[in-house]
Structure 1
Amino acid sequence: MPAYVPLVPPAAEFGPDGQFRSALYGDVYHCTDSALGQAEHVFLRGNGLPERWRGRQGFTVCETGFGLGLNFLALWHAWRNDPARPRRLHMLSIEAHPFAQAALRGWLRQLAPEALRGLVGQLADQWPACLPGLHRLEFEDGAVTLTLAFGTAAALAPQLRASVDAYFLDGFAPDRNPDLWQPALMRDLARLAAPDATLATWASAGHVRQALRDAGFQVRRQAGYGGKWHMTAGVRAPQSAPAVDDAWAVARAADGAGSGEVLVVGGGLAGAGVAQALALRGRQVCVIDAAGPDSAHAGHVAAALTPVIARDDNPRARLSRAGSQRAMARWGALPPGAAPWRCGTLQLERDAGRTAALEETLRQLQFPADWVRTVDRDEAAALAGVPLARGGVFFADGLLVRPASLIPALLDTPGVRRIGAQAAALRRVADGWQVLAAGGKVLGQGATVVLANAFGAQALLRASGLLDALPRMAQMHALAGEVSLLPAQGWAGGPRCIVGGEGYLLPPVDGWCVAGSTYEHGAAVAEVSACGQQANLRKAAGLLGQLPAGWAGLQPGQLPGWAGWRAVLPGRLPAVGPLAHAPGVWLAAGYASRGLSWSALTGDLIAACLQGEPLPLPADLLAAVAPR
């Protein structure tokens, strides 16, 4: 991706003529009195809809210029009203100037046509924070998805991965916003086109039609709408199919019809995230894990899920942001105890100099204040409800998660079955792969296998003759760590939000505050220890300025706690994606200490590819986490 560029908010208002206008571009968003008619005439009928989607399992639309979302609402409305609709409908829409949630809700209440009013609240309720990148929204129990790409089209279009059946080209007028009609952008969008893709736009300028022809479309002028003489419609020109060498496309093809059972090796955070994402899309899943119903996180009372920020908005920061948003959306409807608690996170730096640097980073990134903001010591203490050593930044979306409850809830998704066994090797067979136990017993067979068994994936790849092509995976190592449970009654009931920095301290769960965590290189076992508890108490004291009087008498070695392993790769990014040298085999491993951040995101990433959906991550992040 190009260098980070903050999002520019829209400057929208009603003009003297009563039309809803962009002050940035001096153009109308749409005709106020005929928005639905325009969407139906130009974009739906211009793309042959709803007729073209009938008889299909899925249909994908790509839009330039989301605006207030009226085209999406019209498309969704048409899908709802068509008895012969496709099973799944996807829209991928680019928007450089997204509205804030409250503004979007308010404008749509005023401007949405009556026929679409029933959908407005659903869209506004799910509307994401105005953060750069891709945001996945789901409606109709996941049958309708909206993938919002926030940023400039020139930067984002080359990064998108989808198979597009229809294009809605709906930016501001070419003479007002020429960047959205450039030949290079048309070529980038055309790269996503399915063989029979169509397009439609209200624009009919000659240079726009020529750019579309040069991008590989056969275009024609036809009758316009709302006072416009003409509009443009088109269809992808016949062309020979290119050789498929993209690992994601090969893996999708290896999955066959996309209906067979998927084998997932590993039943922890990684495997449970993949299993749930696939099962929610109607796939049958078999999870193979030696622990059986007893997760490796049994006894792990609570953990924190907090985004990362970095001045250059590097891949780790962008992935953590996307992972946090996906976890909230994917896990929010789980049963009480398993669903995350959005309590917020206070991130405290070690000293005043680092705090100042963090504040400067936020000024440069210009993230919305309702997502992250700086707080001084007094405000931090008020948010936490306890005295703190210093101020820092507050993430409103900080989540407290109970892994021991979350993982079983994910694995209880209908369509997921479990086998309590240790996978030892993979064996290629004519129609896919077999997962074998140590004695050669076949534990499962399928066209697609996902290795989500943390550090165990390395040994499994080695035993299967697949590790030599993955030098980074060969460097994966296991790192032990532990958390300690501190009694909430010893400290005024504990903090009201997550307090993080050099270590972390969580709000109480069942009367205990979790403090963590340790990092033990070269450990032979992961165990609760007096040394580890002393380290966790020291970190808690650093966040608070000193240990509360009620905790001063706690004896390291006599506290409850939990210990486990992290699978760590060079660079501390996970390995997620298909194996190019073993079509049908996927990796979801190396989550390090960010298992909660990656679980829902990577599950949806793998499931989206297998089910032919637009991918919820841009290409450069796919490359950053690709198994290698």
Structure 2
Amino acid sequence: MSELASPQLSWKENKTPVSDRFDDVYFSADDGIAESLYVFIHGCGMPEAFEGKNAFTVGETGFGTGLNFLLTWKEWREAKTDCQLHYISVEAFPLSKEELAQAYQTFEGLDEYGEEFLKHYPVNAAGFHHIVLDEGRVKLTLMFGEAAEMFAQVEGEVDAWYLDGFAPSKNPEMWRAEVFEQLGRLSKEGAIISTFTAAGFVKRGLQAVGFEMRKRNGYGRKRESLIGALKVSNKQLKNKWYFKPLKSFVKQKIAVIGGGIAGALTARRLLQDGHEVVIFERNDQAGLEGSGNRMGLIKPRVSLDRGFNIKAYLSAVSFYDNLDIDVWKGPRGIFELAKDSADVLRHKMVMEKNILPSSEIRHLSKEEASEMMGTEMQGGGLWFPNAGYVEPSNLCQALTSKMDIRTGVTITKISKQDDQWQLLSGEDIVFEGDAVVMATAGENAALNDYCDLAMRARRGQVSYVKATKQSEKLKYPLTGGGYLLPCVEGEHIIGATFEHWKDFFEKSYTEVTEVSHEKNREKLKTFFPDMEFEFICGRASMRAMTPDHNPIVGPIYSKDWYVKEYSAFMHGPRAKNFAPAEYVEGLYVICGLGARGMQTAPLLADVLSSYIAGTHCPVENRYREMLHPARSLMREIKKAKP
């Protein structure tokens, strides 16, 4: 997740951006907009190409200033089409938000688009960044990193390609055979490809991966440029047991079971995708169970592997910042105390390895932390300036307030009759439609007859304590083996316990116990060892965890089919020519979000929607496979223990 190098920007005649690193302009100094329209947007047949399609995907090498994206977005909107626009672009040397804003001052007619895009522009961190615009109908996957490496992590199909890196003579890395191979792999049959260059090796490289190329008139001073279409597709699937089906987008009638944060955000995304969505919630309102605590932290779990959690954290911060609901409570910022020597070493390594961009993390000494937090800290630690906390239950209710949500309805059975899914509540059929999403935390086993999802129940109790004269000075949330929130109306929230629980369906976990209060008292002693607090009451709920601590997101599979098809996998992935995974058509799951559902749910909802739509996944393929519902079964098959 380390920051990427700067393109070393300068300006030609104070209006045209130039990369001193590559000694090349980002677009024509004569008329960059006209050049982009001719070579890329109109060259690839837009806006006419949107006609008759429910979704259209553009791929691009070299995001640069984002000019091509903004123009494509504008052409799409002005076409007044029902087609969704998906855009995948790569950039190894990203510009800063301030540099983009300066470039946009010269983009005539794009003010509205540039201003909106800059609100969502990601921090400088390597990897995929998923940006959703125009009420969910425009989706940009902006990949910061080397082109071949980034495209290798994409699973999807592209309708049109813009090849717009710096000139081949200036930036040969962007025009390598490895990049061309990825373009061929990701292209639909008939996909259009256009570029400003007419270099012979580019033409030959694209022909080698199946494109039929020809020359046409170039723009402005360029005599010729290249354009072509994919004629021969040669797709090779890896890890077929985690295969992601690609299909034409079709609007569907979908039921979401569960009105917690996972269900609410999934329903929101599916509605924005154009589906008809109904939520079924067994309580009298959304967000009363695992998503029912007074407050939920949005804070990264920093580890040295730069894993999915940090990606989800950055995505969540951007999502909540731009949500049309007032989400954040209290001032922004969270401090993580280094409570022992192991934490001190871990924090030191986190800072040295640039696990987070410098804008997102800072190390504080004990003195600096005490001043920042408003009261004496027991040591130094990590400061996350953009972290914060939200009210989970209120957020779920706000999200679902304008949705079709059926409260007080307990779904007891899911069945399929012909091509339609049915939901039953007792003897009553309460839903018939095309697809069902189970967002029921750890209770999926009661509804899913097709496979076993490895889930673990972990009880968590928070305690409400009276603030002292010293603790009421605390300005920001304090974490480190637990968390303590600043006082509100004279009370702190301290939590949360992490207790093994045998059965999700045994509901006595909701009882608040003195034993759990005592565990939270020990957490308090970490923060304020000499201070006594009066415990008032508390709340207990259940976390749905997985053995590997990663959520489960994707299509439901048949265990019988998997075991039959992949049993030879115990002898290695090359033991036979395995078939691509088959799934239970129209049945999906999002669960196992654990203690970080508020943080992971926004991005996970986008991942799930890509399965249902058949479009490319908004996260790297290695993370998609890490979240796959069949991953635990495949580990068991490998060990010959299905």
Q: Same fold (TM over 0.5)?
A: yes
The residue type equivalent to 2:77 in the other structure is R
**1:266 and 2:258 aligned:** yes
- The answer on 1:518 being equivalent to 2:491 is no
2:387 to 387, 391, 398: 398
Does residue 477 of the first structure (1) align with residue 461 of the second (2)?
no
Q: What's the counterpart of residue 422 of structure 2?
A: 434
Point out the more displaced range, 498-507 or 349-358: 349-358
Task: Give the CA deviation at 1:144.
Answer: 2.4
Specify the code of the residue in structure 1 equivalent to 2:72. L
The answer for the alignment partner of 2:59 in structure 1 is 62
d(CA) in 2 for partners of 1:19 and 1:289? 55
Seen in structure 2, the aligned counterparts of structure 1 residues 280 and 323 have a Cα distance that, compared at 3 Å, is farther
Query: Secondary structure, in 3 states, of the residue corresponding to 2:548?
Result: helix
Letter in 2 for 1:305: I
Aligned to 1:122: 116
**Aligned counterpart, 1:421:** 409
Q: Is this contact kept in 2: 1:481–1:566, CA < 8 A?
A: yes
Amino acid at match of 2:541: G
Counterparts of 1:186 and 1:500, CA distance in 2: 47
Give the 3-state SS of the residue equivalent to 1:72 in structure 2.
helix
Given residue 92 of structure 1, which amino acid in structure 2 is its aligned partner? I
For 1:597, which of 576, 579, 599 is the aligned residue?
Answer: 599
Q: Say whether the 8 Å CA contact 1:135–1:616 is kept in structure 2.
A: yes
* Residue 324 to residue 536, structure 1, CA distance change in 2 (3 Å): farther
CA shift for structure 1 position 588: 0.7
Q: Equivalent of 1:187, from 174, 181, 190? A: 181
Which range moves more in the overlay, 216-225 or 231-240?
Answer: 231-240
Please tell me whether residue 449 in structure 1 is matched to residue 443 in structure 2.
Answer: no
Match of 2:24 in 1: 27
Equivalence for 1:539:
523
2:444 is matched by which residue type in structure 1? Answer: A
User: How far has the Cα of 1:57 moved from its partner?
Assistant: 2.7
Quick one: structure 1 residues 381 and 431, their matched pair in 2 at CA, closer, same or farther if it must change by over 3 Å? same
Does the alignment pair 1:312 with 2:314? no
Pick one of 545, 554, 569 that aligns with 2:546: 569
Distance 1:334 1:494, change over 3 A: farther
Using the aligned pairs only, state the percent identity: 28
What SS does the aligned partner of 1:417 have?
Answer: strand
Equivalent residue of 1:584, what SS?
strand
Residue deviations 1:247-302 (CA, integer Å, cap 9, x gap): 6654x75xx86323211122222212211211233322222232241621576211
**Distance in structure 2 (CA, Å) of the matches to 1:509 and 1:405:** 16
Shift of 1:561: 1.4
Measure, in 2, the Cα distance between the counterparts of 1:25 and 1:566: 51
1:104/1:366 Cα in 2 relative to 1: closer, same or farther (>3 Å)?
A: farther
8 Å Cα contact 2:303-2:350 kept in structure 1:
yes
Aligned counterparts, 1:163-562, within 5 A: 163-237=157-231, 249-250=244-245, 258-293=250-285, 295-297=288-290, 300-313=293-306, 317-326=307-316, 328-329=318-319, 332-336=322-326, 338=327, 343-365=332-354, 367-414=356-403, 416-437=404-425, 439-461=426-448, 464=449, 466-467=450-451, 470=452, 473=453, 475-488=454-467, 490-491=469-470, 493-509=472-488, 511-522=490-501, 525-526=508-509, 527-547=511-531, 552-554=532-534, 556=535, 559-562=536-539
Partner of 1:319, secondary structure, is helix
Contact 1:574/1:588 (<8 A) preserved? yes
Render the CA deviation track for 1:232-261: whole Å, top value 9, x for unaligned: 1111115599999786654x75xx863232
Deviates more, 1:494-503 or 1:209-218: 494-503
1:264·1:449 contact (CA, 8 Å) conserved in 2?
yes
Cα separation, 1, equivalents of 2:596 and 2:14: 52
SS at match of 1:620: helix
Residues in 1 aligned to 2:12 and 2:204: alpha-carbon distance in whole angstroms: 33
- Structure 2 gap segments, 5+ residues each: 559-583, 631-642
- Given the two structures, how large is their TM-score scaled by the length of structure 2? 0.86
Q: Does 1:150 align with 2:144?
A: yes
- Tell me the residue number matched to 2:633: none
Q: Relative to structure 1, is the Cα distance of residues 173 and 553 closer, same or farther in structure 2, using a 3 angstrom cutoff?
A: closer
Structure 1 length as normaliser, TM-score?
0.88
- 1:243 and 1:430 map into 2 onto residues whose CA distance is 31
Cα distance change on mapping 1:332 and 1:14 into 2, 3 Å: closer
Task: Tell me the residue number matched to 1:76.
Answer: 73
1:231 Cα deviation from its structure 2 partner:
0.9
Alpha-carbon distance between aligned partners in 1 of 2:53 and 2:110, rounded to the nearest angstrom? 25
Tell me whether 422-431 or 571-580 shows the greater mean CA deviation: 422-431
Secondary structure of 1:47's counterpart equals: coil
Letter of the 2:43 counterpart: G
Q: 1:579 aligns with which of 535, 556, 562?
A: 556
- Contact kept, 8 Å, 1:248 with 1:578, in 2: the verdict is no
1:95 paired with 2:72, answer: no
Q: Which runs of 5+ in 1 are unaligned?
A: none
Aligned-pair Cα RMSD in Å: 2.7
Tell me how far apart the structure 1 counterparts of residues 221 and 331 of structure 2 sit (CA, whole Å).
49
> Which range moved further: 573-582 or 524-533?
524-533
Per-residue deviation, 1:339: 5.0
CA distance in 2 between counterparts of 1:426 and 1:48 reads: 45
CA distance in structure 1 between the aligned counterparts of 2:304 and 2:226, rounded to whole angstroms: 43
3-state DSSP class of the match of 2:128? Answer: strand
Residues 577-622 of structure 1, C-alpha deviation per residue, up to 9 Å, x if partnerless?
Answer: 1124322111111112111122111112212332354321111101
Aligned length: 598
User: 1:536 corresponds to which letter in structure 2?
Assistant: N
Q: Note the alpha carbon deviations across 1:294-327, whole angstroms, 9 max, x for none.
A: 62157621121111222231xxx33343244235
Cα gap change, 1:243/1:519 in structure 2, threshold over 3 Å: closer, same or farther? Answer: closer
In structure 1, what is the Cα distance between the partners aligned to 2:439 and 2:614? Answer: 21
Q: Distance in 1 between matches of 2:249 and 2:111?
A: 37
One-letter amino acid of the structure 2 residue matched with residue 432 of structure 1:
Q
